[in-house]
Amino acid sequence: MLVNSKAMVSISEANQNFSRVARLADEQGTVVIMKNNAPRYLLIDFSQAEAMQAASDEEVLAVSARLMQRNRDAYEVLAK
C-alpha cells in the first residue's frame, strides 16, 4: 500500500484534533495514524470501506472457475 506522507498523523495529534484528521481523510482519501513511529491505524471514508469489501462479479466468477477446475474430480463424482 502506498502511503502519502501528507496523510500521516501521530496518534497524539489524532486524539487531540480528530476533526482535522477527519477533514484530512476527506481531502486525501485515507489517513494513516502512526503509533511509536509505525503505521498503526487507517482512517477511511465509510463508503470507501464498503467498496473495498465488495468483490466484483468478475472476481467472483474467476474464483468460482478456479475452484471448479481444482475440484473437477469431486464435482464429477457428485454429479453421478
Residue 8, C-beta contacts closer than 8 angstroms, at least 6 positions apart: 31, 32, 33, 34, 39
pLDDT value of position 2: 61
As given in the structure block, the three cell numbers for residue 14 are 489524532
The whole-model pTM stands at: 0.58
What confidence score (pLDDT) does residue 54 get?
65
List, for residues 21-75, the tens digit of each pLDDT value: 999 999 988 899 999 999 999 998 887 776 666 667 777 788 888 988 988 888 7
Q: Give the up-direction half-sphere exposure of residue 46: CA atoms within 13 A in the CB hemisphere.
A: 0
What is the residue extent of each domain of the chain?
A: 1-44, 54-80
The CATH number of domain 1-44 is 3.40.1620: yes
